[in-house]
Amino acid sequence: MNIIDKIAQELNIKQSQVESTIKLIDEGNTIPFIARYRKEATGNLSDETLREFGERLTYLRNLEERKEEIIRLIDEQGKLTDELKESIEKAVILSELEDIYRPYKQKKRTRATIAKEKGLEPLANIIYLQIEKKDIYEIAKDFINPEKGVETIDEAIEGAKDIIAEVISDNADYRKKMKILCKREAVIITRANKEEKSPYEMYYEFAETIKTLPSHRILAINRGEKEDFLKVKIEKPDDKIIDFIKSDVIKDKKSQFASILNDCIEDAYKRLIEPSVDREIRTELTEMAEEKAIKVFGKNAKQLLLQAPIKNINVLGFDPAYRTGCKLAVIDSNGKLLDTATVYPTEPQNDVIGATKVIENFIEKYDINMIAIGNGTASRESEMFISSLINNNKKELYYAIVSEAGASVYSASKLATEEYPDINVSLRGAISIARRLQDPLAELVKIDPKAIGVGQYQHDVNQKKLSESLTGVVEDAVNSVGVDVNTATPSLLSYVSGINKTIAKNIVEYRDENGSLKQRKDLLKVPKLGKVAFEQCAGFLRIYGGKNPLEITGVHPESYEKTEKLLTKLGYSVDDLLKNEKLLQLREELKKVNIKQMSGELDIGELTLEDIIKELSKPGRDPREDMPKQILRSDVLKFEDLKEGMTLKGTVRNVTDFGAFVDIGVKHDGLVHISQLSNNFVKNPSEVVSVGDIVDVKVIGIDNEKQKVSLSMKDVKQANP
């Protein structure tokens, strides 16, 4: 199998793109660096495509290594034929390869190996080949051997049947055919294992073909089975499978061997093939569902990380609670902690007057315009309290509901202890909530991505794969935004291309000892940050107020000289990037640039030149500014206020296989089922909505008992903000 051809075909890209990208990956370049600064080589492949590329490259290389190993192992047994070698080389997935290798694997003691030890393999071959004319019972007499434990003719034949059953079970073609039939016709059936209320009640009497079973149902069934609420079985087209094997094995249905072989086939299927294929099908279904869930989680996480920051305001973080009190944290516009307090406006104390006094004092003292309320326990009551306080305050005030998923994990972490050694653990959650509103990316990178609350069965999937995928997602998000090297935390820096946790820590220590970095070249003075790491990270790090205005942009140092030549040709200098009037004029000139002609004059790739022009047009621009803004509220909507047909504006909080959850300002997010996302057919909800989107929705169902709301985005008139 040619790996280059295979990847080119799968990703629908040119062979030259594959060759160049493999070379870049093998040289140790990171995905963000390749995606951003090697576009000519890759043909402008996106970071997402490059990550898929990397995964497939690793898989296919492992597959080729395993093929070589299997060929060697079979050859050492003296059983390698040209036909067998060809079938191994043609295998395209690991499970198919392992099925081919199965007959040659070193086996544990089985009924077949015991029968072979008794000297019954020649008898098994006579029966399996069906060419002997002599009566089988006469033949079997010669294999009676009491010393080896074969006392009778029947025992000899039974032992031979065990050997034949294993030969049939090990046949790769039979397994392949069975899997094809199962994927087309098999049905997964679930039944209640115990009659009690549970989240899995819809699966207590459930059946669906495996070819139509969506990934979220597979994971739900797996969880229900693991928690002992469900019994699961796969109903297969058994007769078709057995008939197929019989038609291949039995040469003459009227021969003396037909009845014996019938028994062997039935035994092989029920005892050996069916249980292992069932396991393989369940494993394949689970892996497919996990892959889908990981992709959904990754897409949601990226959108959450890239939510628009709210800049240049002081924020009051409000972490709701009942008995232990609501925690407050005042954060200035740069994310610095100014003050903390604990108030008790909720039950059991209900000290609304005392809490109001503390908060109004904070609002006046620190010029607060924005309150960030966590969405956890007591969030509903806290929102009502804050809404009432805002309505009674003369100042222009707003609040926003912020997901506090993972805030408690962060609060008790080593990182939080290092950041706030003198602040009580309980107050750190309020700090995190406030900072999440100010700069979601900088705050959320401090938390294990699995804990940020936008997944689908994230705790049920392969944790290693999930962790690898989410690390990639966070890297792509951080590098697409860029990082201020002089203010970033080690957590944020460690996700920058080419920078590991040790180097990130060294950058901060260097900053503390030597003051702010004045130019990107200063990074080379940081311990363990060599030329290779510098090449990978430099373009993603920003230096504001430094020596070179290009360093507030994503222009890589390798392109400085040509960028300056471009500016000179247009009659400008790098210093003009910091002068508003000159910058406005420069933007107009950049729009007129003939990319093809200029790339030839500067001897630079067209795609690289286009990126440089974008950076020069908006130096220092935060790409998250284009993302939907947080909905700011001043009044609260109660669940009881909801009426069917009501149109509201909401924020998409999570996207799953079956729809999207939208925050409409009541305690629980409403569900827009996939069938209600659009007037057109929707195959995948992420085609229509993303986490953080602001959408108009209509209330189409209210379940007062379960406090659930069903929403629709079909034919919705624009709602008031």
Same domain, 353 and 403: yes
Confidence (pTM): 0.80
CATH number at residue 651: 2.40.50.140
Whether residue 473 lies inside any domain: the answer is no
Q: What per-residue confidence (pLDDT) applies to 10?
A: 93
Could you tell me the residue range of the domain that residue 181 belongs to?
112-297
Residues 6+ apart with CB under 8 A from 444: 304, 305, 406, 436, 452
Residues in Cβ contact with 240 at an 8 Å cutoff, skipping those fewer than 6 apart? 181, 185
pLDDT band at 651 (very low <50, low <70, confident <90, very high): confident
Residue pLDDT, tens place only, 571-626: 999 999 999 899 999 999 999 999 999 999 999 999 999 999 999 999 988 787 76
The pLDDT tens digits of the residues spanning 673-697 come to 999 998 888 888 888 888 878 888 8
CATH code: domain of residue 17: 1.10.10.650
Spell out the alpha helix ranges (H) of 130-214: 136-141, 153-169, 172-185
Does 480 map to a domain?
A: no
289 and 354 share one domain: no
User: Of 397, 419, 438, which residue constitutes the final position of a domain?
Assistant: 438
Please give the Cα distance from 593 to 479 (Å, whole number). 27
Do 138 and 264 fall within a single domain?
yes
| CB distance 714 to 706 below 8 Å | no
Element (DSSP H or E) covering residue 470? helix 463-481
CA distance 267 to 157: 14
Residue 120 in contact with residue 152, Cβ under 8 Å? no
186 and 270 assigned to the same domain: yes
Structural tokens at position 47:
């970071």
Residue 163: count other Cβ atoms within 10 Å of its Cβ.
Answer: 26
Residue 222 lies in a domain: yes
Q: What is the mean pLDDT of the chain?
A: 90
- Which of 438, 464, 480 terminates a domain? The answer is 438
Q: Is residue 120 included in any domain, yes or no?
A: yes
94 shares a domain with 40: yes
pLDDT tens figures, 475-495: 999 999 999 999 898 999 999
Q: What angle (nearest 5°) sits at the alpha carbon of residue 652, between those of residues 636 and 318? A: 45
Helix/strand/coil for 281: helix
Distance from CA of residue 486 to its chain's centroid? 30
- Residue 391 φ then ψ, to 5°: -65, -25
For residues 580 and 582, what is the distance between their CA atoms, to the nearest angstrom? Answer: 6
* Cβ neighbour number for residue 312 with a 10 Å cutoff: 8
With contact defined as beta carbons under 8 Å apart, do 635 and 388 qualify?
no
In the prediction, which pLDDT does 328 show? 96
Q: With contact defined as beta carbons under 8 Å apart, do 684 and 639 qualify? A: no
DSSP label of 204: T
**pLDDT tens digits, 65-117:** 999 999 999 999 999 999 999 999 999 999 899 999 999 988 788 999 999 99
Q: With bands split at pLDDT 50, 70 and 90, how would you rate the model's confidence at 632?
A: low
CB under 8 Å to 628, separation ≥6 — which residues?
307, 308, 651, 692, 693, 694
One domain for residues 327 and 275:
no
Q: Which whole number is the average pLDDT over 339-357? A: 94
Residues 646 and 605 reside in one and the same domain? no
CA dist 511 and 15 (Å) reads 45
If asked whether residues 644 and 573 sit together in one domain, one would say: no
214 domain-assigned: yes
Determine, yes or no, domain membership for 182.
yes
Closest to 49 measured CA to CA, from 4, 1, 13: 13
151 and 253 housed in the same domain: yes
Residue 181 inside a domain? The answer is yes
Does 339 lie in the same domain as 226? no
What SS3 class is residue 69? helix
pLDDT digits (tens, 9 = 90+) for 504-520: 999 999 999 999 999 99
pLDDT tens sequence across 548-562: 999 999 999 999 999
Residues 366 and 427: their CA atoms lie apart, in Å, by 18
| H/E element, 660 | strand 659-663
Phi/psi at 257 (nearest 5 deg)? -90, -15
Q: Tell me, what amino acid is at 517?
A: L
Residues 23 and 92 in one domain: yes
Residue 56 tokens read as: 């497939």
* pLDDT tier, 393 (very low <50, low <70, confident <90, very high otherwise): confident
Same domain, 232 and 289: yes
End position of a domain, from candidates 409, 438, 467? 438
Task: Give the SS3 label for residue 443.
Answer: helix
H helices present in 482-559, as ranges: 490-493, 501-514, 531-537
Cα–Cα distance measured from residue 511 to residue 531, given in angstroms and rounded to the nearest whole number: 19
Residue type, 587: R
Residue 163 belongs to some domain of the structure: yes
CATH number for position 178: 1.10.3500.10
Burial label, 165 (beta-carbon count in 10 A; 0-12, 13-18, 19+) = buried
Which of 15-24, 501-510, 644-653 has the weakest average pLDDT?
644-653
State the burial class of residue 650 (Cβ atoms within 10 Å of its Cβ: 0-12, 13-18, 19+): buried
CA pair distance 36, 172, nearest whole angstrom? 45
* Secondary element (H or E) of residue 698: strand 694-703
- Dihedral of alpha carbons 642, 647, 649, 651, sign: positive
pLDDT at 21: 97
- Dihedral (CA of 333, 336, 341, 345) sign: positive
Total domain count, the chain = 5
Cα distance between residue 691 and residue 490, in whole Å: 26
- Calculate the alpha carbon distances from 700 to 64, 659, 704 in Å: 54, 15, 13
Q: Return the SS3 of 99.
A: helix
